[in-house]
Homo-oligomer: A and B are copies of this chain.
């Protein structure tokens, strides 16, 4: 793959509704206007963590607030997408122990639309912008399917 093709693919993915939703989440929490003039691509860059970079991140200490914020933005973007597609108002809960283990949950009424265990959350990130988009869209789709299938539970 040439560099041009890679850039082309990245640009295409940057138009994905899911990546736009993450960028929107980050901007929504940007109380001080730090990111006002940043492109989506720049905002999403910290979500890309290669395998080699991951190995360099210690999982001994607490998870830093910036990484936790990134995890929240990822799951809030999924919640937002599910809501857009189903009308299901949902809550996001990220429960992390001090060792980077825990849960990421998105629920609506009594239905868990997304339920994932987290481990080594200090290393949260994706191989590429494409992987980020694909993973987010996959979780969105399965949440949407559940919301439709068990609409009585999510309306409780």
Interface of A toward B, CB cutoff 8 Å: 91, 93-95, 103, 105, 107, 109-113, 115, 146, 150, 153, 156
For A111, list chain B residues within 8 Å (CB).
110-112, 153
Of B103, B146, B153, B156, the contact of A91 (CB 8 Å cutoff): B103
- Chain A interface helix/strand/loop/mixed: strand
Closest to A112 in B: B110
Can you tell how many copies of this chain the complex includes? 2
A113 smallest CB distance to B (angstroms): 8
Please state if B115 and A110 are interface contacts (CB–CB under 8 Å): yes
Closest to A115 in B: B110
For A112, list chain B residues within 8 Å (CB).
107, 109-112
State A72–B156 Cα separation when bound (angstroms): 24
For A146, list chain B residues within 8 Å (CB).
110, 156
State A47–B146 Cα separation when bound (angstroms): 38
Closest to A109 in B: B112
Given contact pairs A93-B105, A94-B95, A105-B107, a sample of 14 additional A-B residue pairs in the complex whose CB atoms are under 8 Å apart = A93-B95, A93-B103, A95-B95, A107-B107, A107-B115, A109-B112, A110-B111, A110-B113, A110-B146, A110-B150, A111-B112, A111-B153, A146-B156, A150-B153
